[in-house]
Structure 1
Amino acid sequence: MDHPTLMLLVTLCSSGLCAELHSGSEEFRLVGGASRCTGRLERKFLEGWNAVLEDNENLRWNLERVDDVCKSLDCGSVVSMRRNDTSQDEFSVSLMTFFFVDITCSDSIRLVNHLCSGRLEVMLNGSWSSVNEDDFDQQDAEVVCRELGCGPPSGLQGALYGETEAPEWSREFLCEGHESALLKCRSSVQKYSGKAAGLTCSDSGNIRLVDGDHRCGGKLKMKNMGEWRSVDGYNFNMKFAESVCKLMDCGSPITARRKRLTSREAVWLLGARCDGSNLMECRK
């Protein structure tokens, strides 16, 4: 089936626990994560649990489907989804490439305001808690941005997201910068009086325009889970185009049109609920 791949022609731009899901006849759970709402996706088969695997020829899991898992597990919305190669695993003996599906749902970490910017909150003991900005450093921010699937941190600016006080007893995270999740960092509970931490992660590095006359015109490409693909134009809207131009520092969109692919090409789909206000939440 041909996809009307989106062409943005902006050539005249103005410048450790587990949760289980029972869905019909299938049961899912997340295991091995730092909280009950993050970890590797497993499916129950007969009397045992098996990791959900995808092969490179049949990628069935996307952000919208994973979001349903998060909601059904009472874990909020999906924050990120990663496919991790099983080639180092002892049972991987096939010539095909298989991937584990690792999921982070919002009930473990979130930025209040936007997926990639806002006041940091962490789920601790069943409730959301802010983090004191005095003890939140660059290494902590790098882990948070990576866990959320955003680009590197571009600023630690709690005041931009409101003068919210951190709780009197706040958790101090001692990340080294390489951890895959904030809750996997060493931490301790300290008594503070101060402002809540906020940060901004970059996300413009996940989009680009190619095959145009200059950097602000061409076919839209989006990076998701480490892979660049064209974008299907079915659910395209002008808010999406405006967001692209803004993120790329290209002013406002002048024109945008769809163009059918001339060959079979893997594309990223835009969710039906995508309004373009947050590109990171639109990928499927």
Structure 2
Amino acid sequence: MLTAVILMVLCSTADSVRLVGGVGSCSGRLEVETRYSWTTVCETDFDWRDAVVLCGELNCGTPVTLQGALFGKGKRPFGLREFQCEGTEKSILTCNTLTREENTCIHGKAVGLICSGVLVKPSISFSSPKTISTYFPKQHVIESDSDFTITCSTLPQFQGGSFKLKVPWNNEPYTQHADNHLASYLCPEAENMYHEGNYSCIYENHVNIGRNVLLTSESETHTVFIQGPYDVRLVGGSTHCNGTVEMPKRGRWRKVSAMDMDPLKQAAVVCRQLNCGYPVSATTARATDETWQFLSNCSGSESALGECKHVIQRPTYFTDTVVCSGPHNVRLVNGNSRCNGTVEMFHTGQWRKVSAMGKDPRKQAYVVCRQLDCGYPVSATTVKAVDEKWQILSNCSGSEYELIKCEHVIAHRTGFIDKVVCLEDFFFSSMAESPPRRFRPPIVVG
């Protein structure tokens, strides 16, 4: 019994382009496929605007060098198309063309092209012994006066070359030879006014591909923030917002107890300083093995525990444990209640203004009002900001329960901030009495 098998092959009739004879797919001699055969392009049929389109089409950046016979004569015949691109087309094959007569191109003038994408993008990495954790990728928070290192590296694509590190405190980058395809830069004793800002690595190399040309490629940008070390912490709890109160002294963290054995005022200061809301509970319990510890005396209005009066004393055998309501990382300020005003988010030890990425703050406003237990937004507007060096751009879907769950980017001087009025503030704005924290609708009985 014979079985007949019919094999159908579908071939593409679409034309395509390529660079051959160079390094990778972003440099070489230009060849165009037309009706299943490859042809070479004549130098006189191809100019710089054509090269801009081709490098973009091949995802190779921008043209660096365009020269006839740069990558040899080639063995393929010359095509008859003269390309006339504007420079904005997506593909070289969609550009206007003119038909040239045969045998009018001098042999040896085949188009050779080097695009900037021939270099692999370098990498940038960050390290510091005193890194403070952050929610944001490619952004690093470190303690002031601590050292940090920026390392630039690239794949072993070409030998030699050098790295230029772009830094926030100097318009001129710092140059260092690439040793084994990397270079490291040590920044000692970080300070806010010098070291806080954006860093990126530029790799450059004189490469002999067709001829000696200077190629450059820049890494992604990383941002460094400098934060003064806290002089208080809560330890032994489930989050940084609950646990036993400690303060540093002479390189060691020591337990803290209120002088009058009433830790509530001290707890209010600790929760405020750690951006953890307000104290839910504050208790004093017996401590063990405390050689030296702090006795504190707070009024409750201080912004930091270091502002309270303190005595360091031999063992008192008492220590304070605090549970805060937080952590809270969002607030509305400069309004007439906690439910309206300018949106701010706590990041890297500071409250920073917030603006929606698309300048439409409504989705973000839903998240803010929900997180602050303020109902839903009545209005959300974007206004001009002044003197905002660093601020946060957010991108919310509107369904998030916390602003930190949205996508965020730290931006430099965007000049816009968001203002939000939530329902709770709107409902109670005409009432003489202060509203309860949460609006509860009346219960219908019977």
TM-score (norm: length of structure 1): 0.41
Rg larger for: 2
Which gives a bigger RCO, structure 1 or 2 (Cα 8 Å, sep 6+)? Answer: 1
TM-score (norm: length of structure 2): 0.29
More strand by share: 2
